[in-house]
Structure 1
Amino acid sequence: MEFSTEPVVTLERADIYQGQKLVLADVHFEVNKGEFVFLIGRTGSGKSSLLKTLYADLWLQTGSAKVAGYELHKIKRSDVPYLRRKIGIVFQDFQLLTDRSVEDNLTFVLRATGWKNSADIKKRISEVLMQVGLGTSQKKLPHQLSGGEQQRVVIARAMLNEPNILLADEPTGNLDPEVGDQIMQVFQTINNAGTAILMATHNYDFLKNFPARILKCENGEVKEA
């Protein structure tokens, strides 16, 4: 598979802070379009802080980083929502609106990001739900879905605006192993269709079963593993 020349993520000499605490120093790596990269390391090693920096939840204080065309070291607060439309974010806890159906959860995101036409909205929602294997679940409420199904909705939500990259923070952390494997297959399908993925995980079975490039957070550094 040919990757285009412009990486979707580039960090150079980036220092990653959690509050006042330096958690990762002098970070430099790239993620190319269409690439799948695992981010590993023990709890507290800086994985989540790194991902939060990439979607501008934590500010990049020193060094430079470019994500989906946005330069994080000089991004304005007003541009952060536009950056987030170009990246999909998948958390461990689902953060779905519990009082709304699957369709209404996804409609909410599309309307919030500027979609106006109801027919376009319906069409896009049915596309992403098919993509994650939930084609018939539009009308269900989150509590009517299993944990694995809820996480599929979260992935569908992250895909709504056709992001350049998905950032996933322990997306299978709350799921049992068999369901976790199914969710990994969903990510693989999305990746095979051309979306880059950077996934933080504790699950070392994934590294064996779904071989891909590995970055490791250890001793305050990020290294190729």
Structure 2
Amino acid sequence: MVFTSEPIIHLEKVCVFQGLDAILQDVNFTVEKDEFVFLIGRTGSGKSSLLKTLYADLPLKMGTAQIVGFELEKIKNKDIPFLRRKLGIVFQDFQLFNDRSVAENLFFVMRATGWKDKTKMKNRMIEVLLKVGLADASTKMPHQLSGGEQQRVVIARALINNPAILLADEPTGNLDPDVADGIFKLFQEINKEGTAVLMATHNHDLLRKYPYRVLKCEKGKLLDSKTADISIDTSY
């Protein structure tokens, strides 16, 4: 795990683009190494675009941004895989290989990020599956798992390389409330162990129940509950 006195994320005067369109302007915020932060906003307000900018799927064209020691305004294509090794990325739609077992899905990520020792790979696979409560699932195929179990596999995959932060884009969006609550508690446990979490969500129950810091995309701006009053409404 990356331990540093520097923030995990620090953005100044960032403009987030989708193609030629500026989705968010003058974005400024910092995430510390042990923080849990919600990212909210209406559909199309820029949440996913901001996350994609942070893991360099969208280029940073304006402003300065540092994440896990990388300067996004200067990053070269060849360095993006090294950036992503320090991040855990959790998608709403899972993005698992449906023709491969849970273990094979995890091994694929390990090989892609430089793991070579098969014994260490197996031990790490067992470790992360145990952490997410799926110790007996390694030989199962994704279609044999429930939606909540598949999301736990995605979280295990994101934890493979001991990331400094998890970037989660609507990780409970397709799950029923009880399953969503269990997934959220897993994120809390991971956070308590020292991994920062930035979670985009539409789940108002989570927002009301857990008083974490909130970033809100609204009308082309990013509001921060540290410096502004933010309404958690039901209109998005």
Structure 2 match to 1:115: 115
Counterpart CA distance in 1 for 2:108 and 2:52 is 23
User: Where do residues 88-127 of structure 1 align in structure 2 (5 Å cutoff)?
Assistant: 88-127=88-127
Structure 1 match to 2:176: 176
Contact 1:15–1:60 (CA under 8 A) maintained in structure 2: yes
Whether 1:128 and 2:125 are equivalent positions in the alignment is no
Residue-pair matches, total: 223
Counterpart CA distance in 1 for 2:146 and 2:152 is 10
Counterpart CA distance in 2 for 1:165 and 1:104 is 24
| Partner SS state of residue 74, structure 1 | coil
Counterpart CA distance in 1 for 2:4 and 2:110 is 28
Structure 1 match to 2:192: 192
Q: Which amino acid aligns with 2:145?
A: L
Counterpart CA distance in 2 for 1:90 and 1:57 is 14
TM-score (norm 1): 0.97
Contact 1:54–1:67 (CA under 8 A) maintained in structure 2: yes
| Partner SS state of residue 26, structure 1 | strand
Counterpart CA distance in 1 for 2:75 and 2:115 is 24
- CA deviations over 1:28-83 (Å, ceiling 9, x no partner): 00000011000001101100000000000000000000010000000000000000
- CA deviations over 1:96-125 (Å, ceiling 9, x no partner): 011111011001110111101111001111
Per the TM alignment, residue 211 of structure 1 is displaced from its structure 2 partner at its CA by 2.1
Structure 2 match to 1:213: 213
Counterpart CA distance in 2 for 1:95 and 1:49 is 18
Contact 1:39–1:201 (CA under 8 A) maintained in structure 2: yes
Structure 2 match to 1:76: 76
Gaps of 5+ in 1: none
Q: Which amino acid aligns with 1:5?
A: S
| Partner SS state of residue 171, structure 1 | coil
Structure 1 match to 2:36: 36
Counterpart CA distance in 1 for 2:211 and 2:175 is 20
Per the TM alignment, residue 5 of structure 1 is displaced from its structure 2 partner at its CA by 2.9
Counterpart CA distance in 2 for 1:79 and 1:89 is 17
Structure 1 match to 2:230: none
RMSD: 1.0
Structure 1 match to 2:59: 59
Contact 1:4–1:32 (CA under 8 A) maintained in structure 2: no
Identity %: 63
